[in-house]
Structure 1
Amino acid sequence: MTAIECIDIHVTSRRLLDERLEAAVRHLQEIAVLAGTHGILITRNGPGHFTAELSEQVPFGMTRELMR
């Protein structure tokens, strides 16, 4: 894995959220393909605050969402 396995996203608009989540997922997919063992977990931590990360709790090739 590379050093970037988790990406924090802070936004104030839906448009920015969509753009930044798409970019984060694309980036994490590139990393995930190298290992072939982790999926992507998107967590809503609060209003306008999300985390996109590789997770061994998510099967490879899948993306899941979690709301806290």
Structure 2
Amino acid sequence: MTTATLERRLAEFPAVETAEFRSIDLEFSTADEVHAGLDTAVATLIETAAKDAACGILVTRLHPGRYTVALDESVPFGETYENIAA
């Protein structure tokens, strides 16, 4: 099962039909879910990042099965970086 939670909403964009996210927390129970789940989260944040073109996306593996996908100003616009938390 995949779980996503909203951490922060973008303050400068009004709430409309869809929520816009700055980061998404994901937890997967099987390895088969990881690839599709991360692809979906990145695609969701690409839409938000494209609106202001000020940052890229950072995917962080927190521990096996647990990830955070977030907009990050240290990542150039149009790029996605991967990181493993210490």
What's the TM-score bracket when you normalise by the shorter of the two chains? over 0.9
Matches within 5 A, 1:1-68: 1=10, 3-68=20-85
List per-residue Cα deviations over 1:35-57 (Å, max 9, x = no partner). Answer: 10110000000111000000001
Size of the aligned set, in residue pairs, is: 68
* Structure 2, gaps ≥5 residues long: 1-9, 14-19
Q: Which runs of 4+ in 1 moved over 3 A?
A: none
Q: Which structure has the larger Rg over C-alpha atoms? A: 2
- Work out the percentage of aligned pairs sharing the same amino acid: 35
Of structures 1 and 2, the one scoring higher in RCO (CA 8 A, sep 6+) is 1
Q: Which amino acid aligns with 1:13?
A: T
Whichever structure has more helix as a proportion of its residues is 1
Shift of 1:12: 1.5
TM-score normalised according to structure 1 size: 0.93
For the aligned residue pairs, the C-alpha RMSD in angstroms reads: 1.1
